[in-house]
A and B are shown apart, each in its own frame.
Chain A
Amino acid sequence: MGFDSAHLIALPELVLALGAILLLVVGAFLGKRSMAVVSGGSVIVLLFAAIAAGLGAKGVAFNGAFIADDASVFSKVAIYIASAVAIFLGERWLTRIGNAKFEYPVLVVLAALGMGMMVSAGDLISLYIGIELQSLALYVLCAFQRDDAKASESALKYFVLGALSSGLLLYGSSLIYGFAGSTHFADIAAAASHGSVSAGVIFGLVFLICGLAFKVSAAPFHMWTPDVYEGAPTPVAAFLAAAPKLAAMVLFARVLAQGFAHAIPEWSQVVTAVALISVTVGALGGLVQKNIKRLLAYSSIANIGYALLGLASGSQQGMQAMLMFMVLYMIDVTGFFACLLALYRKGEPMETLPSLAGLVRVRPGIAIALTILSLSVLGLPPLSGFWAKFYVFRAAVSTPGMGWQAVYGLVFSVAAAFYYLRMIKTMWFDEPIGETDVPPADARIVALGAAAFAFPLVMIGLAFLDPLTAAAAKAFGLA
């Protein structure tokens, strides 16, 4: 195992790890003035890693612990770009509020490294280490405003519940290891294919699914999400809602498809149940929320439900639907949070629904962006959210025995539409309640960019994303 094989396959991770350490040293030596340098460096490191992932070698390295295939490459490029956007938004925001510490970009790079390890995991140990690396960095990022009581509360809740979910995950992993005799996904699949899958493995698998459901904030393991989104600094929440969810979903898909390909009926029913509960909780919980960040948290719970519905179909088409859904959702949710970053009134963030009243007459640009993004997430054709749901429901309908689940999901997506429509009504038809501050350029660019992608750029984007997600879905090796 010389440099040329294993290290080339893991080149994006090497770039990120060495880059993060280098930037840490640069930041430590430059001190207070280092934020701009380290942030710029981090964005460059992430873009290099994305290029290395896109052009790099594919294969299996480190005795099967690390897998680079179409699925990992696709998700890594998306994750690294989303992380770079998070650094861009966060750097400006932290500088504005006077908390420009260079650790922020370094931690985002390390979180991106953890996510890259998650989507490339081929072994239960690398799965766990990837999740821990990502989660630890995110806990710290949530508490980054350490003098803010809400941020500390959110970080503490996230940390304690995250530790609990790691415990569930490890317990499941130890059961799987005990009954299957290996931690490699391929070996677990081989052990499970001899005759029927043993009850011990299924038992462990259910725990593993519970642990992963925590990480993607699927109901009934969602209780941390609203509090964390509300308390975390807004750029961190934007990061939290996008890239880690994609990484955890791809990891979810990889464990189930590559480790338990012979137990599809067994895991499919668990995932379907989690998906339907998420859709319900997300739609109903969002109805009573006044805080937009909490609303987005419930929206993300519902949307993870749709992505899990694609996963539950257990087919290649379902995996493609999941990947497509997650990428389109990531862009929408980043745009949403960028809008929140752009909306300040007298130096205070406008985070409640009533504060948006009559926004279209005060800030037409941001209001129109928010409207387009809301319509997209509720699934109005031909916006990007419609296509995301279209892929999922197409996969669900074409899977035998999943017809009523698809109908159930559709019904609750209509119920969830209410809270997006209420937001639009507040912005367009209520009386304005006062001027807002001039939105910062960075947040405005990201918000308008995401809205422009939601429509009309999505039509061009789909032409590229469709073959890419199809190739990525094939890598999971399902029929």
Chain B
Amino acid sequence: MDLTAIAFHLLAAILLGAALLVVTVRNPVHSVLFLILSFFTGAGLFVLLGAEFLAMLLVVVYVGAVAVLFLFVVMMLDVDFVSLRFGFARYLPIGLVVSGLLLIEMILISGAVAARGAVSVVKNSLVSGVSNTEQIGRVLYTDYIYFFQSAGLVLLVAMIGAIVLTLRHKPGVKRQNIADQTARDRKSGLRVVKVNIGEGVSE
């Protein structure tokens, strides 16, 4: 058993265990942390496959953005997770049927792929001696530049939309103003009052 096989089995076992814990632990924060663990081990599996770009993507996008967002939502919002679990036993049979079907489908597909041999039907356009990050970059910024840039414009519209629909300028909101802070001097910041004994300062 060589090192790659050991690494694969170890990562796969951790991935499965973490994924199972995501849906079974009671504390939602722990659940998100296990999700992050499973993303990391998934990234490890991609590295083993030689797809280092996908591995980085998984870490940057899913761990860096999605999981952290989940964590924020779980910690900031007052979601009642106990009530979300209500009816778990009632829906369990349906869930088991669906996951059983999914399992059968996956076994059939992997059986077919194993019988055929894992050969790609896409015409091979890989250039040897270049990392796959660079290869993706080469295709993305040449053949697919039009789609890439247009997708950027779609995101721009989404951003404008989010701002138009949600941004409200409330009057009276206190914001930090550095210019005001540095322009503050003794005259505007300090008031000398004469305090009579036994009276205190009146506003």
Contact = CB atoms under 8 A, between A and B. Distances in A.
Contacts, number: 58
Most buried by A among B143, B145, B146, B160: B146
16 contacts: A17-B153, A21-B156, A62-B146, A63-B143, A101-B164, A103-B164, A107-B160, A125-B147, A126-B146, A126-B147, A129-B147, A129-B150, A130-B150, A133-B157, A137-B157, A146-B164
B147 A136 contact: no
Nearest to A183: B147
B137 interface: no
Contact of B157 (A1, A66, A136): A136
Contacts of A139: 161
B3 interface: no
B69 interface: no
How big is the B interface, by class? 10 to 19
Given A106-B160, A107-B160, A140-B165, A132 B147 contact: no
A71 interface: no
B60 interface: no
B106 interface: no
B92 interface: no
Determine the main DSSP class of A at the interface with B: helix
Given A113-B153, A146-B165, A136 B146 contact: no
Nearest to B145: A62
Nearest to A14: B149
B154 interface: yes
B23 interface: no
How big is the A interface, by class? 20 to 34
Interface string B160-171: 110111000000
A117 interface: yes
B151 interface: yes
B154 A133 contact: yes
B143 to A, nearest CB: 6
B158 interface: yes
A101 B164 CA distance: 8
A140 B157 contact: yes
A140 B157 CA distance: 9
A126 B153 CA distance: 13
A139 B165 CA distance: 11
B53 to A, nearest CB: 20
Contacts of B151: 129
A144 B166 CA distance: 11
Nearest to B123: A181
Contacts of B142: 1
A417 to B, nearest CB: 40
Interface string A44-63: 00000000000000000111
Nearest to B122: A181
A147 to B, nearest CB: 10
Most buried by A among B142, B145, B160, B163: B160
Most buried by A among B150, B154, B156: B150
A110 B157 contact: yes
A129 B161 contact: no
A143 interface: yes
B156 A110 contact: yes
A125 B149 CA distance: 12
A465 interface: no
A65 interface: yes
Given A106-B160, A140-B161, A66 B146 contact: yes
Contacts of A61: 146
Nearest to A113: B153
A140 B143 contact: no
A241 to B, nearest CB: 21
B165 A136 contact: no
A132 B154 contact: yes
B150 A126 contact: yes
A24 B160 contact: yes
Contacts of A107: 157, 160-161, 164
Contacts of A133: 150, 153-154, 157
A136 B145 contact: no
A106 to B, nearest CB: 7
A71 to B, nearest CB: 19
A140 B154 contact: no
A371 to B, nearest CB: 37
